[in-house]
Amino acid sequence: MNAPSLTPIATALLTLGLTVGAAAAQEIVPPGPSSRGALLIHGNFCGPGNRGPGYAPVDALDLACAHHDACWPDPALGLLPACACNRRLEVEAGLVARDPWSPVETRQTARFIADFATALPCADASGQIR
């Protein structure tokens, strides 16, 4: 079974990111030789897109986002990630959101990302879109 193209999904995520996170966006990374571009809300990996290879996560939340990015199939294939990818992001970001040693702003961003992970489209083990 072929999954739908990521183009409408990517557009929806970018629109949501611009709508909800524009004030919180830390940096807009234009497409370049090492990345597809990004609207980062935290670190190098949190938000639609990422900085590209060669950048390390800045903290545990950014690492959770890097794990999620690594789990996504190549966008050119037009496939959705496995639901387990989104679940892992929800769990890892949720841990940061509850960590009393993390800065308040990081915990708030982590809560937003953990909650948002539950709404991201994905394909379950049988290939069904969720």
Tokens 């949501």 sit on residue: 16
Residue ranges of domains in the chain: 6-117
| CATH code at 6-117 | 1.20.90
Q: Cβ distance 57 to 45 under 8 Å? A: yes
Tell me the average pLDDT of the chain: 80
Exposure class string for 24-63: b at 16+ Cβ within 10 A, else e? ebeeebeeeeebeebbbbbbbbbbbbbbbeeeebeebbbb
The tens digit of pLDDT for each residue in 17-71 reads 544 444 455 677 776 665 567 788 999 999 888 887 788 999 999 999 999 999 9
pTM, full prediction: 0.75
**What phi, psi does 70 have (nearest 5°)?**
-65, -25
Closest to 110 in 3D by CA, of 93, 128, 98, 123: 93
In 3D space, the residue among 12, 19, 24 whose CA is nearest the CA of residue 109 turns out to be 24
Q: How far apart are CA 36 and CA 59, in angstroms?
A: 22
Mean pLDDT of 93-102: 98
* Nearest by Cα to 17 from 43, 46, 53: 46
